Chains A and B, each alone.
Chain A
Amino acid sequence: MTAARPVPVPDERSAPYWDLAARGILALARCGRCGRFAHPPDVVCPHCHHTDPGFTFEPVSGRGAVRSWTVVRQSFLPGFDVPFVLVDVALDLEEDDDVRLIGRLVDGPDAPLRSGAEVEVTFEQLDDRVAVPAFTLADRTRSVHSERRFPRQSEHTERLAPVDEP
């Protein structure tokens, strides 16, 4: 039996992010002082350095471009079958806030990847309350979703249906 993947533990700054992720929505923290996106939401705004940033969470498209990737062949965490692909994604945002997310590419290690490849967010269900953002190649999105090719990482994942996409 494969051990379960580590689950995120929401805190006062991150709870809305994980609540929305569980509903299949990628939302980013926007600073209430300078209006810029900040990921992750820290105790101080990374842009204007305000100590009371008053973040609000705003849904984003979840589309982005691959800046880099790596195929992980030796995992140091429970619940991850190797090999798997991690992508470093620059999210498409109206603002030039350089928000990067790193997540699994659910298309697997044989997917055709290149710098600049377009991806969109998808979600991996860890249990009935927790979904973690991941990515899929944009031009393959439909077939991936229709086949429900969610990675088989744990018994939890296999037992539960994927969430609906936003």
Chain B
Amino acid sequence: MSGRWPGRNRVAVAGYAQSDICRQFDRPLGAVAVDTARRAIADAGLRVDEVDGFVASSLLPSAGGHAVVDGISTVSPHWLAQHLGANPRYAAGFQGYGQLPGSVAMAVHAITSGAADHVLVHRALHNPAGSYHGNTMAEAKGQQQWTMPQGFFGPLAMIGLAANEYLQRYGATREALAAVVVEARKNGARVPWSFWRDRPLTVDEYLAAPLVSDPVGRFDCDIPVDGVAAFVLTSAERARDLPHPPVYIAGLASGQPTRARLPLHWPLDDIVEVGQETARRLWAGAGLGPADVDLPQLYDGFSPFVWMWLEVLGFCPVGEAHRFVLDGGIDSDDPEALPVLSGGGALGNGRMHGVPQMLECYLQLSGRAGPRQRPDIHAGLACHSSPHYGGAVLYTGEPT
């Protein structure tokens, strides 16, 4: 594929809603999702009966074998549409990694094809009672027989191996992880709905916390939460007649490694090579480059991902992101730095799976960030998941 992405500038975000983010809601997840969806639709100046498309991923990202119950531990787009009393022409779930960019892409395709006029994209995350990833499985079947009996299980060991590969190869330190986490928590502390609001973290507190899977420690991992966010997407033409300034979708890309690996084996070279290919497609399709983006919101569900996204997107050379973050390169309070976690990210909000990145792009580009509003923001980038499995969406305040 070459040339510009034909979908660019044709779809815009017209409204949003974000629930409070907490460890556990005192109401069912589905009830909060319906309330949040209603608020998003109203925010976009629409009625429920005008929303004719619903797209979401309903993955519960836990290795703990928790029961998946629609409306309780997950909320599918079909469940949400039905419980809102909507009768959509298009309802579809996204499967795969990079759940939020993947859902946005499906919404864009539905709108540009005419399958739907107004699409609600939502994400509802749940923190089940008990251990999030702990699993009492006695037998390892299928793909899991190759890793579970050996003790390799769950995303902590996955990111531990990838992060240590980076540390060993480039001489990075835990202080350079702390720089990511402290920056995320600084910004998250300023976000009214964040689980971590008013609770920044110091480097000393970071270093004093227990290691979980070396070199990854407790605060390198986003905390599991209950939370719901919803966005209304529509055509750029229709969005201009709605109450809020449209935020245009200027580009999107996602990736998928071709090399088969053991389950959750994410070697650094796979992450970087496939991530660079995704970035190349993103920039080529949008006709923009890293220098055009003033609000790159990088995914930080595990802190080392921020280094990796910085490198694959071309914000700094491969192997140098750890120095870049230590040198203040991502300080959102420095006008000369790259504010890659200005929305707080996952580490500063809770495990909202790409929502903080997309929401920060939307709020800043529509001028709706309130006291956190940054001046002169023109283009934002919302990343989600690992660079080699995930995706990114480029947003602009004006058509490019």
Which chain A residues have a beta carbon within 8 Å of chain B's beta carbons? 3-11, 14, 18, 38-40, 42, 46, 67-78, 80, 84, 86, 88, 98, 100-104, 114-115, 126, 130, 132-134
Contact = CB atoms under 8 A, between A and B. Distances in A.
Top 4 nearest A-B pairs by Cβ distance? Answer: A70-B160, A46-B260, A68-B165, A8-B145
Given A8-B145, A70-B164, A102-B161, A76 B262 contact: no
Interface of B: 63-64, 131, 133-143, 145-154, 156-157, 160-165, 168-169, 210-216, 259-262, 265, 267-268
A6 B152 contact: no
Contact of B139 (A6, A38, A70, A101): A6
19 contacts: A3-B138, A7-B138, A8-B139, A38-B260, A40-B262, A68-B165, A68-B268, A70-B160, A70-B164, A72-B213, A73-B214, A77-B134, A77-B153, A78-B136, A88-B265, A100-B261, A102-B161, A126-B149, A133-B150
Contacts of B153: 76-77
Contacts of B214: 70-71, 73
A77 B165 contact: no
Interface centre among B142, B149, B212, B214 (most CB of A within 10 A): B149
A3 B136 CA distance: 9
Nearest to B260: A46
A58 to B, nearest CB: 17
Given A67-B267, A86-B150, A115-B169, 9 more contacts: A3-B136, A14-B145, A18-B145, A69-B164, A77-B137, A86-B160, A102-B161, A104-B150, A115-B165
A45 B259 CA distance: 11
B265 A6 contact: no
A9 B267 contact: no
Given A5-B149, A102-B161, A74 B267 contact: no
B314 to A, nearest CB: 25
Contacts of B265: 88, 100, 102
A40 B260 CA distance: 9
Given A73-B213, A88-B161, A6 B168 contact: no
Contacts of B146: 8, 39-40
B162 to A, nearest CB: 7
Contacts of B267: 67-68, 88, 100
Contacts of B211: 71, 73
Contact of A74 (B145, B149, B156): B156
Contact of B141 (A9, A18, A98, A102): A9
B337 to A, nearest CB: 30
Given A40-B262, A68-B162, A70-B164, A103 B152 contact: yes
